[in-house]
A and B are shown apart, each in its own frame.
Chain A
Amino acid sequence: DIQMTQSPSSVSASVGDRVSITCRASEAIAWLAWYQEKPGKAPKLLIYATSRLQTGVPSRFSGSGSGTDFTLTISGLQPEDSATYYCQQADTIPLTFGGGTNVEIK
Chain B
Amino acid sequence: QVQLRQSGPGLVRPSQTLSLTCAVSGASISRGGSCWSWIRRPAGRSLEWIGRICTSGTTNYNPSLKSRLIMSVDTSKSQLSLRVTSVTAADTAVYYCVIEALGYFYYMDVWGEGTTVTVSS
Contact = CB atoms under 8 A, between A and B. Distances in A.
A85 B60 CA distance: 25
- Which secondary structure dominates chain B's binding surface? loop
Interface residues of B, number: 21
A93 B112 CA distance: 22
A43 B108 contact: yes
Contacts of A44: 111
Given A48-B104, A90-B106, A42 B60 contact: no
Nearest to B51: A94
Nearest to A89: B106
B111 A43 contact: yes
B113 A42 contact: yes
A45 B109 contact: yes
Contacts of B47: 35, 43, 86, 88, 97
Contacts of B64: 94
Interface string A35-63: 10000001111001100001000000000
Interface of A: 1, 31, 33, 35, 42-45, 48-49, 54, 86, 88, 90-91, 93-100
Interface of B: 37, 46-49, 60, 62-64, 96, 101, 104-109, 111-114
Given A42-B114, A91-B106, 5 more contacts: A33-B106, A42-B111, A45-B101, A49-B104, A98-B46
